[in-house]
């Protein structure tokens, strides 16, 4: 049965990344990234293409060696103990690379050989649910079927940790729904953990407990989704007099408007915000909740990388 | 039980679930003693995190709108907790203030607001069995 939100102590983290840095040539791909994925959570990595999400996930899987910093998965170093880590971690890459000359049933038999915990009944159940014909060649599958086949292979050995890199990239809404359902079912059973990246914030907002926003290799913001949302507000303001230039207000992440009325995304407790708004001679007309999408845009453009929710 | 979730509305999803279930109960569409779907089933139906549903159910249990029967699911409470008149009024004050403020901003007069309230009241209560 599902328990309430797990506590975010690093002791119970399934994935724990501390000060991870990685360069490709002179380009810095990850810059002192730290994050902790609590057991039983759905953790979403948000960021634009090229922000470093895939590079981060490849370190988690032990496919890349940290240049600096420490990565632990299920308490183990994934570079030093790849077999143990990968036998307990399901992975779906964005490119969904599967052996394309195999048939679906051959893919299942082939993959089964790698996993002690492979559950053939579950694999068959997923194959039917995903409507994958056993005799079809991988190369002739549609994009959606390919994603489902990749997901099947990542789920059928009931991994403790499921890592998905942009699972809904390029898929139609019906297949996206199947994938989200599979993610939800994964954590609902047996406190398994999901770490996935997506640029679809709507999707992240639906299913995640925890979120990390990544931009240009740095963590802009990380924490419990509810906390992040509760700490951000859209405020509509009216100034006593028209400001001469765009106003600067403490704790405003973005601001637009004109004349005496301006609105923007703010960060902080409501009493604190009232004070900073009053300090510039304005009053709050209205307050609205903001979506994760708005928070991300506001944070990205403000370049404000203070990460008050980063777990220690 | 039909709920509608709007992930990008800005309102936290657990809050949307709480508000909608509360509405279904107070409007009588969910009768006392009715069984609610399990956490996992509702999470899959709505495509949201199971923890979110667990949190919403817990909040409704604390408000004594729902009750858990030992190992046998979650039900609408038989006799929802009686609030004092003051408690009931203060629970509504915030919404009333917001309504009045919005009406003023839109230039909708007080009488018009009352008319609208009556109209909506008729609509909502007609759904009650």
Question: From the CB of residue B103, how many other CB atoms can be counted at a distance below 10 Å?
Answer: 15
Reduced 3-state DSSP string for B38-57:
CHHHHHHHHCCCHHHHHHHH
Inter-chain residue contact B50 with A187, CB threshold 8 Å: yes
List all residues of chain A from 244 to 273 with a beta carbon under 8 Å from chain B: none
Mean pLDDT of B69-77: 85
Residue A20 near residue A34 (C-beta atoms within 8 A): yes
Which of B7, B9, B49 faces A184 most closely, judged by CB atoms? B49
Query: Whole-prediction pTM value?
Result: 0.82
pLDDT of residue B128: 53
Tell me how long chain A is.
312
Q: Are A38 and A89 in contact (CB under 8 A)?
A: no
Question: At residue A71, does pLDDT exceed 50?
Answer: yes
Q: What's the pLDDT at B69? A: 84
Query: pLDDT, tens digit, for every residue of A84-93?
Result: 999 999 999 8
- In this prediction, does ipTM exceed 0.95? no
Task: Please give the residue that has the higher pLDDT: either A53 or B26.
Answer: A53
pLDDT band at residue B83, thresholds of 50, 70 and 90?
low
**Alpha carbon distance A97, A65 (integer Å):** 21
- Strand-pairing partners, residue A251, are none
pLDDT confidence of A304, banded at 50, 70, 90? low
Each residue of A117-153: pLDDT tens digit? Answer: 999 999 999 999 999 999 999 999 998 999 999 999 9
Query: Is A290 in contact with A232 (CB distance < 8 Å)?
Result: yes
Residues A23-48 pLDDT 10s: 999 999 999 999 999 999 999 999 98
pLDDT of residue B26: 82
Cα–Cα distance for residue pair B77/A168, rounded to 1 Å? 40
Residue of B nearest to A5 (CA): B51
Mean pLDDT of A248-253: 89
Q: What DSSP element (H or E) covers A267? A: strand A261-267
Quick one: DSSP state of residue B83? P
The domain ranges of chain B are: 7-126
Percent of chain B with pLDDT over 70: 92
Confidence grade of residue A2 (pLDDT, cut at 50, 70, 90): very low
Confidence of residue A21 (pLDDT cuts 50, 70, 90): very high
Which stretch of A27-41, A297-311, B12-26 has the lowest confidence by average pLDDT?
A: A297-311
What is residue B129's predicted lDDT score, i.e. its pLDDT? 45
Q: Residue A259: which region, alpha, beta or left (left: phi > 0; alpha: psi -120 to 50)?
A: left
Which chain A residues touch B6 with a CB distance below 8 Å? none
Query: In which region does residue B61 sit, left (phi positive, over 0), alpha (psi from -120 to 50) or beta (all else)?
Result: alpha
Q: Touching check for B49 and chain A: CB below 8 Å?
A: yes
Closest CB from B5, B10, B54 relative to A4: B54
- Is B13's CB within 8 Å of A206's CB? yes
A288 touches chain B (CB under 8 A): yes
Cα nearest neighbour of A42 on chain B: B49
Mean pLDDT of A1-9: 42
Would the pLDDT of B70 be above 80? no
Residue A6's pLDDT band, with cuts at 50, 70 and 90, is: very low
Give the separation between CA B72 and CA A299, rounded to whole angstroms.
Answer: 45
> Which residues does chain A have within 8 Å of residue B49's beta carbon, measured at their own beta carbons?
42, 184, 187, 206-209
Q: Which CATH class is domain B7-126?
A: mainly alpha
């Amino acid at each position: 049965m599902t328990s309430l939100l797990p506590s975010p102590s690093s002791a119970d983290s399934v994935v724990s990344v501390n000060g991870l840095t990685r360069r490709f040539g002179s380009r810095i791909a990850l810059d002192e990234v730290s994050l902790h994925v609590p057991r039983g959570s759905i953790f979403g990595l948000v960021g634009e293409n090229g922000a470093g999400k895939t590079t981060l996930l490849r370190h988690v899987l032990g496919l890349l060696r940290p240049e600096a910093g420490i990565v632990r998965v299920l308490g183990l170093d994934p570079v030093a103990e790849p077999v143990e880590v990968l036998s307990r971690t399901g992975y779906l890459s964005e490119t969904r690379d599967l052996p394309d000359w195999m048939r679906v049933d051959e893919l299942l038999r082939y993959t089964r050989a790698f996993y002690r915990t492979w559950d053939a009944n579950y694999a068959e159940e997923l194959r039917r649910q995903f409507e994958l014909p056993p005799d079809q060649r991988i190369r002739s599958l549609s994009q959606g079927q390919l994603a489902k086949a990749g997901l099947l292979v990542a789920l059928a050995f009931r991994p403790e940790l499921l890592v998905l890199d942009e699972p809904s990239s390029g898929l139609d809404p019906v297949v996206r729904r199947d994938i989200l359902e599979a993610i939800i079912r994964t954590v609902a059973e047996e406190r398994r953990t999901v770490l996935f990246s997506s640029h679809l914030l709507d999707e992240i907002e639906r299913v995640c407990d925890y979120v990390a926003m990544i931009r240009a290799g740095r963590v802009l913001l990380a924490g419990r989704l509810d906390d992040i949302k509760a700490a951000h507000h859209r405020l509509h303001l009216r100034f006593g007099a028209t400001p001469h230039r765009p106003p600067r207000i403490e704790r405003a992440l973005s601001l637009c408007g004109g004349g005496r009325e301006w609105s923007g995304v703010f960060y902080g407790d409501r009493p604190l915000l009232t004070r900073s708004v009053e300090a510039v001679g304005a009053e709050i007309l209205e307050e609205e909740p903001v979506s994760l999408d708005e928070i991300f845009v506001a944070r990205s453009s403000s370049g404000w990388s203070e990460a008050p929710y980063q777990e220690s | 039980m039909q709920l509608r979730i709007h992930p990008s509305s800005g309102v936290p999803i657990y809050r949307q679930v709480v508000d909608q279930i509360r509405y279904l109960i107070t409007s009588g569409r969910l009768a006392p003693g009715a069984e609610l779907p399990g956490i996992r089933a509702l999470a899959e139906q709505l495509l949201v995190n199971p923890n979110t549903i667990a949190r919403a159910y817990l909040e409704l249990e604390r408000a004594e709108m729902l009750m858990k029967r030992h190992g046998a699911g979650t039900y609408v409470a038989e006799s929802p907790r009686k609030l004092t008149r003051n408690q009931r009024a203060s629970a509504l004050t915030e919404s009333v203030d917001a309504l009045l403020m919005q009406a003023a901003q839109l230039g909708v007069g007080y009488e018009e607001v009352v008319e609208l309230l009556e109209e909506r009241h008729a609509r909502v209560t007609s759904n009650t069995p």
